[in-house]
Amino acid sequence: MSHKTYDLPDGRLFVGGEWETGSGAEIVSTFSHDGSENRRLSGASRDDGERAIARAIAAQADPAWRDLLPHQRARYLTRIADGIEANIDRISFIQTRDTGKTRGETTALAMSAAGTFRYFAAVVETADEDLTTRRGDHLTMSVHEPIGLVAAITPWNSPIASDAQKVAPALAAGNAVLLKPSSWSPLVSLELARIIEEAGLPKGLFSVLPGAGREIGNLLVEHPAIGRVSFTGGTETGRRIGEQAGRKLMPVSLELGGKSPTIVFSDCDMDQAIAGVLFGIFSSSGQSCIAGSRLFVERAIYDDFVARLVAATEKLVVGSPFDPATQVAPLIGFEHREAVEAYIALAREEGGEILTGGKRPSGPGFDSGAYLEPTIVAGLANDSRTCREEIFGPVLVVLPFDDEADVIAQSNDNDYGLACGIWTTDFPRAWRVARAIQAGTVWINTYKQFSISTPFGGDAASGMGREKGRAGLRAYQRQKGIYHGLSEAPLPWARLS
Ligand code: NAD
């Protein structure tokens, strides 16, 4: 990580390959470390969206893109990956300004975005079509074709990585993509547009349209030309988009919220478990869909484990995202901090005991930023609202459990089903519990580790569909069966003479 500073994107939108000033509602991107303004820009209006869609339709149908073979499309993705890698420090700087995340984390997110483009270049170049088993006098095939126009709608917490997770497979699959990032973090997606433009992707195939969800987001979901929506965000928004997609009979993937359980058995390696629990909840200041926000500790070690956890939490370094020593940076902004603080107040009302944190850190360097101390709450029942609802901040609830059956029942007694962590040295037990938990991802003796090769997604209120992995490409294509007749005789049914 360097100490260089970079110019932020100038605030123009990338509308079907043209840099244009938006005509929608104003967006103010702020740096949550000190409340300073990064950029004031006009978001995308419906008109801007309509223009981007018209350009995308033309670009997607152009033989210059439509007729490319998979390995030729792969070259664009590789060039985009190269472009991201050449700009890691700049992207990290922009995203840290945009989201308040530490430079270490935004660097890792930029590197993961480059890896995602590289991975899907490899996937599309090596994905075979199927010659299916013949059951008659015809060759039977199953082939995959682009959907056409895909909308990618992303949240503010890890923009460059969630953008790449959608844009890379969708372009690899031969589509045009309209990306709508959150208004709280518009800048890094606009930087991605610059890199994609520089990589030479034909004009019109990619747009970046930050703006109000109910205006531009809604247009992208409702518009008849959009054939698929890939959404990451909150459960309430996801449900609404799912309903709209249902009416259109449009495929949609929904990566939504979570309230993920972490389970600590008494036979765990305690140091490993404490480090994993802390990273699982307090990295990204808890603003992570997969945050391990509900901790279950076996009663035999509960007091000891929780005491050590609290002591380790109090050693975490809260500070500026530009300070390399910082572990817990500010939240995305002041409005969101208030929402998290409302949950801490609720935890108190529900009878919870705040074991550590629960307030804003004070002193120079903190007072004008959206900082909040890492917070641990005990004494609540698993059915309290604090334990049921996603807080999306640095707030951990801890609960004791009696045995395997009890912890499986408590873990699954929640609307969400995104992730789970298990800490134990008993391998058969880890396997049994992993299979019994309602979650799209389970980590055993580790947490919050990701690989682009492993499908990811949620169940129940955490969404539907999977991203990543080789099958991630196919989610952006239509599958078609082709029967190629081999007989030279007419089909026997008609009476031709
Ligand atoms: P959000 O649902 O408020 O917004 C997400 C995106 O949807 C934004 O771009 C927003 O502008 C847009 N949007 C809002 N209303 C819309 C509408 N009516 N039509 C179309 N688009 C609309 O979520 P957020 O606050 O930006 O993000 C935090 C949430 O995202 C948390 O719940 C978190 O768990 C979830 N998340 C999930 C994953 C995952 O992979 N499961 C990853 C990251 C974040």
The alpha carbon of 229 and the centre of ligand 1 are apart by a number of angstroms equal to 13
The angle that helices 159-172 and 103-126 make with each other, rounded to 10 degrees, is 10
Cα–ligand 1 centroid distance for 155 (angstroms): 4
Q: Domain locations in the chain? A: 13-256+462-481, 261-444
As a whole number of Å, the end-to-end CA separation of the chain is: 81
- What CATH class does 261-444 carry? alpha beta
CATH number of 13-256+462-481: 3.40.605.10
What local confidence, expressed as pLDDT, does residue 245 receive? 98
Contact between 23 and 42 (Cβ < 8 Å)? yes
Two structure tokens written together for 129: 């079509």
Q: Which residues are catalytic?
A: 255
For 190-237, what is each residue's pLDDT tens digit? 999 999 999 999 999 999 999 999 999 999 999 999 999 999 999 999
Closest residue CA from atom 3 of ligand 1: 234
103 class by beta-carbon count within 10 Å (0-12 exposed, 13-18 middle, 19+ buried): buried
What's the angle, vertex CA 96, arms to CA 95 and CA 99, rounded to 5? 75
Question: Among the atoms of ligand 1, which is closest to the Cα of residue 220?
Answer: 20
Question: What's the average model confidence in pLDDT over 32-55?
Answer: 98
Q: What is the pLDDT of residue 2?
A: 72
| Mean pLDDT, all residues of the chain | 97
CB 167 within 8 Å of CB 10: no
Which secondary-structure segment (H or E) carries 279? helix 270-282
pLDDT reported for residue 39: 97
Cα 69 to middle of ligand 1, angstroms: 34
List ligand 1's pocket residues with C-beta within 6 A: 153-157, 162, 180-183, 213-214, 217-218, 221, 232-234, 237, 240-241, 255-258, 289, 390, 392, 418, 458, 463
State in Å: Cα 230 to ligand 1 middle: 11
Ligand 1 nearest-atom number relative to CA 458: 41
Residue 123 has pLDDT above 70, yes or no: yes
- Among 390, 326, 394, smallest CA distance to 354 is for 394
275 Cα–ligand 1 center, Å = 29
The protein residue whose alpha carbon is closest to atom 20 in ligand 1 is: 217
Nearest CA to ligand 1 atom 39: 255
Q: What pLDDT is recorded for position 3? A: 81
Residue 370 CA to residue 412 CA, distance in Å, equals 33
Q: Which atom of ligand 1 lies closest to the CA of 181?
A: 9
Distance from C-alpha of 464 to C-alpha of 245, rounded to nearest angstrom: 13
Distance 237 CA to ligand 1 centre (A): 6
Q: Coil, strand, or helix at residue 492?
A: coil
Structure tokens at 204: 């019109």
Q: What's the gap in Å between 16 CA and the centre of ligand 1?
A: 23
* CA dist list (Å): 109 to 172, 312, 338, 450: 20, 26, 26, 11
pLDDT at 179 over 70: yes
- Contacts of 430-437 spanning 24+ positions with Cβ under 8 A: 432/404, 433/263, 433/404, 433/407, 433/408, 436/408, 436/412, 437/261, 437/408, 437/411, 437/412
Closest CA to 344 of 355, 333, 332, 329: 355
- Return d(Cα 341, Cα 393) in angstroms, integer: 9
Is-contact 228 150, C-beta < 8 A? yes
Residue nearest to atom 23 of ligand 1 (CA): 233
Mutate to test the pocket of ligand 1, among 101, 105, 157, 187 (most ligand atoms within 8 A of CB): 157
Pocket test for ligand 1, best of 160, 289, 390, 467 (most atoms within 8 A of CB): 289
Q: Which atom of ligand 1 is nearest to the CA of 467?
A: 40
Angle between helices 427-436 and 404-412 (to 10 degrees): 30
Mutate to test the pocket of ligand 1, among 162, 232, 248, 441 (most ligand atoms within 8 A of CB): 232
Q: Is 223 exposed, middle or buried (0-12, 13-18, 19+ CB in 10 A)?
A: middle
Atom number in ligand 1 closest to CA 212? 11
For the cut 90, the answer to whether the pLDDT of residue 1 exceeds it is no
* pTM beyond 0.75: yes
Mean pLDDT over 248-275 rounds to 98
**pLDDT of 497 higher than 90:** no
| Radius of gyration for the alpha carbons in the chain, expressed in angstroms and rounded | 24
* CA distances in angstroms from 196 to 125, 208, 326, 335, listed in the order given: 19, 11, 32, 32
Would the CATH topology of 13-256+462-481 be identical to that of 261-444? Answer: no
Model pLDDT, residue 399: 98
For 272-288, what is the mean pLDDT?
A: 98
